[in-house]
Amino acid sequence: MLTKISSLMLLLSLYISSFAQKSVSFDFDNDGKIDKMIIDQRDQEYSITYTLSTQKKTFKTPIITVGGQENSLSMAKNVIVFHSQYMRGENTFRFRYDDKLKQLKIIGFDNTQYGNATNDGSGTSSYNLSTGQYIANWNHFDERKNTLVAVPKISKKYPLKNYKVNQLKDEVISQLQDVGYELLPSYMK
């Protein structure tokens, strides 16, 4: 009975993940012509490719290996949302066309960590790269009390960042995940 349930859950998981959207089409650069972004997924690696009709050019990220077990794209108004889920967490990036750069840039980064088996280190952070605002809500497992404790909310304004989407790579993702690390209480480092 257990193997039938396990098999059914595996098939259901594969069925659902096959519907994750791997491309979006929209007028990213506001010229009246449809542009397109695609996730090129290869096992645990992926890259993002997009075209802009005003540039008559294709932009592509280097191969990315951070996260990326389940990736998807969607649109929220004029913002592209790239969601990347991995074993113990997930990242959500927000991209928008920048008139000055004449390219898509990263305007937001959200990180969710599930923590370990006791949820130690679990929580969320949100970094608005356009305003520099960083907000985080993390948890710590207190072994003396044997309970999960919320760390006081962390909020700080950082200098503005300008990352073009085609500059997205492992090092940039790691830098974004490390924002706010110095603000964590010492017992969480």
Average the pLDDT over 157-182 and give the result.
92
Average the pLDDT over 77-98 and give the result.
94
Pairing of strands 89-98, 103-113: antiparallel
pLDDT for residue 68: 75
Average the pLDDT over 117-131 and give the result.
95
Average the pLDDT over 149-166 and give the result.
93
pLDDT higher than 60, residue 19? no
Cα distance between residue 184 and residue 136, in whole Å: 10
Average the pLDDT over 9-30 and give the result.
66
Cα distance between residue 69 and residue 87, in whole Å: 8
pLDDT higher than 70, residue 24? yes
pTM, whole model, 2 decimals? 0.85
Task: Give the other-Cβ count within 10 Å of 106's Cβ.
Answer: 24
